[in-house]
Amino acid sequence: MTETVTPAVSTELERSTGSSATPAGRTGKVVLTRTVKYVLLLLFVIVVLMPVYVLIVTSLKPPADVNPESSWGLPLRWPWESVNGGPTGFDNWAVAWDALAASIGRTFLLAIPAALISAMLGSMNGFVLSRWRFPHASLVFTLILFGMFIPYQAIMTPLVEMKTALGMPSNIVTLLIVHIIYGLPICTLIFRNYYEGVPVELMEASRVDGAGMLRSYWSIILPLSLPGFVVTIIWQFTSAWNDFLFAMFLSDVQGGPVSLSLNNLAQGAQLANYGAAMAGALLASLPTLVVYIILGKYFIGGLMSGSVKS
């Protein structure tokens, strides 16, 4: 038997349940909320991209047109036009490339191995600490994490003394060793949290099949570790590429990374050429930007993949 609800009863029900808003009113609220959200996001994007805008427009200005007071203004002439036969805006990029090309290659030789090796070692550490309940495992994990909270400045003096005592060269090799060691705590933390979310049944099934810990890691855990590797590789690549403090104390301009060469370009003989310094900053930041464009969509997912256990 079908019950009929009178208009008066229907109105009373809507009032009691708080659903008296019309569909048009609800749609208006949704549109307003979405508009405010996008306006705020647009403002954040503008604030973040303002320095990039200054870098680009300044790098395209001839040295004669560069003035800090008019740094926000667009170039007064095309980048290939010069002032009284002097350098053009494109010449800034040529000067920056000549100054940074060799060090950019050296930095690739530093950042790529540092990211891959520290990620692999962190994966092994995370697997052992999450699946092998040996005595004092929690203490070992705490001591490893302690390395994350030691500031670079606090260890710089003993690190330089150790480098000198061991006779290590002031080049990329020394920086590579330091970045691998200093990157192990964060890589271990990321992988340990990620492996905590891997079902225990997979490990039990592998033991039933006769696989030991090493075979289980290689055949089962490692193929599932792509999200963790994406996060750690992006993190370590960016840290090694952008590092300046370790590079300044443990290497030199002739054998160091691009950060030292960029500092030399900005403060050396090209001090008056702000356009070349800006072009060099863009060239130095381009590899990390490309890495984030290619792998950025996997970064957040990989970072959060170990936050919730399955």
Confidence of residue 108 (pLDDT cuts 50, 70, 90): very high
Domain assignment present for 57? no
Q: Which residues of 18-50 are buried (b: 16+ CB within 10 A; e: fewer)?
A: eeeeeeeeeeeeeeeeeeeeeeeeeeeeeeeee
* CATH code for the domain in which residue 254 is found: 1.10.3720.10
Domain assignment present for 85? no
The pair of structure tokens assigned to 114 is: 């540092």
Q: Domain tally for the chain? A: 1
- pLDDT at residue 25 is higher than 60: yes
Confidence of residue 219 (pLDDT cuts 50, 70, 90): confident
Give the residue-averaged pLDDT of 169-188: 92
Rounded mean pLDDT of the chain?
Answer: 82
Name beta bridge partners: 82: 88
Contacts of 123 by beta carbon, 8 Å cutoff, 6+ apart: 187, 191, 222, 225, 228, 229, 232
Angle subtended by helix axes 172-196 and 89-131, to nearest 10: 50
- pLDDT at residue 116 is higher than 60: yes
pLDDT at residue 270, rounded to an integer:
46
Q: Give CA–CA dist 70/29, Å, rounded.
A: 43
Domain assignment present for 275? yes
pLDDT at residue 308, rounded to an integer:
46
- pLDDT at residue 63 is higher than 90: no
Higher pLDDT, 98 or 66: 98
Domain assignment present for 242? yes
pLDDT at residue 24, rounded to an integer:
66
CA distances from 231 to 118, 128, 129, 190 (A): 12, 19, 19, 8
Which domain covers residue 118, as residue numbers? Answer: 99-304
pLDDT at residue 122, rounded to an integer:
93
Contacts of 305 by beta carbon, 8 Å cutoff, 6+ apart: 194, 197, 227, 228
Domain assignment present for 45? no
- pLDDT at residue 233 is higher than 60: yes
pLDDT at residue 88, rounded to an integer:
78
Higher pLDDT, 64 or 17: 64
* Range name among 47-51, 159-163, 197-201 with the lowest pLDDT average: 197-201
Whole-prediction pTM: 0.80
Q: Give CA–CA dist 198/202, Å, rounded.
A: 8
Contacts of 250 by beta carbon, 8 Å cutoff, 6+ apart: 159, 160, 163, 170, 174, 175, 178
pLDDT at residue 301, rounded to an integer:
66
Confidence of residue 228 (pLDDT cuts 50, 70, 90): confident
CA 220, chain centre distance (Å): 28
Q: Give CA–CA dist 71/54, Å, rounded.
A: 6
**pLDDT tens digit sequence for 81-107:** 777 777 777 888 988 999 899 999 999
- pLDDT at residue 11 is higher than 60: no
Domain assignment present for 211? yes
Contacts of 59 by beta carbon, 8 Å cutoff, 6+ apart: 89, 92, 93, 96, 275, 276, 278, 279, 282
* Range name among 57-66, 155-164, 247-256 with the lowest pLDDT average: 57-66
- pLDDT at residue 225 is higher than 80: yes
CB-count burial class (<10 Å; 0-12, 13-18, 19+) for 152 = middle
Judge contact between 111 and 240, C-beta under 8 A: yes
Domain assignment present for 80? no
CB atoms within 10 A of CB 119: 26
pLDDT at residue 310, rounded to an integer:
42
Share of the chain above pLDDT 90, in %: 29
Give the residue-averaged pLDDT of 281-307: 78
Domain assignment present for 280? yes
